[in-house]
Amino acid sequence: MASRDDNVIPIPTPPSGEPHPRIARMIAYWREIAPGAGLLPGKQHFNPMRVPDLLPNLWLLDVVREEEGRLRYRFRLVGDALIDSGAPFRKGLFVDELGDQIDQAAAKALHDRVVETRQPDWRRGPPIVKHLKFIALLERVLLPLAEDGRTVDYILAMTVFYQMDGRII
């Protein structure tokens, strides 16, 4: 699948009124839990009881630092909406193990950018992952988490799926 980088909008501040309300709530919560100015929130700051209705759309990637500085990304959590969408994500699986079910170059570049810049990434557009269901478009945000406030060790993500029949999951 072709990368759609032209649809990627990095966000220190999301465009006013642009994100889906669930995405906007997740971004606001992520900002709220930051431990201080210039510091990223860590996984330890995230309280799922504060956003229970968003949990089905959440997924979490471990940032795995291998020898020679190579980064890999492993699914730690996959919400039910992702399973329902037909996304091939499974807990414990590395993104690069998805093979041709995902645009590998686009996914790697995107995840690396979030880790290196320590900035969120928001996107609305066609999926870069092959879904089994009829997904017309999706909207997702990637939010960096850092237990020490600086070094990104997780990427907290949320995806909202727009199906061809008009339903949103």
pLDDT in tens, 18-31: 789 999 999 999 99
- Would 168 be classed as within a structural domain? no
- Would 126 be classed as within a structural domain? yes
Cβ atoms within 10 Å of 14's Cβ, excluding its own: 16
- Would 34 be classed as within a structural domain? yes
- Would 169 be classed as within a structural domain? no
Q: What are 31-41's pLDDT values in tens digits?
A: 999 999 999 99
Domain housing 71: 5-163
The mean pLDDT of the chain is: 87
Q: Output the pLDDT for position 73.
A: 98
CATH number at residue 107: 3.30.450.20
CB burial string 15-35: b at 16+ within 10 A, e below: eeeebbebbbebbebbeebee
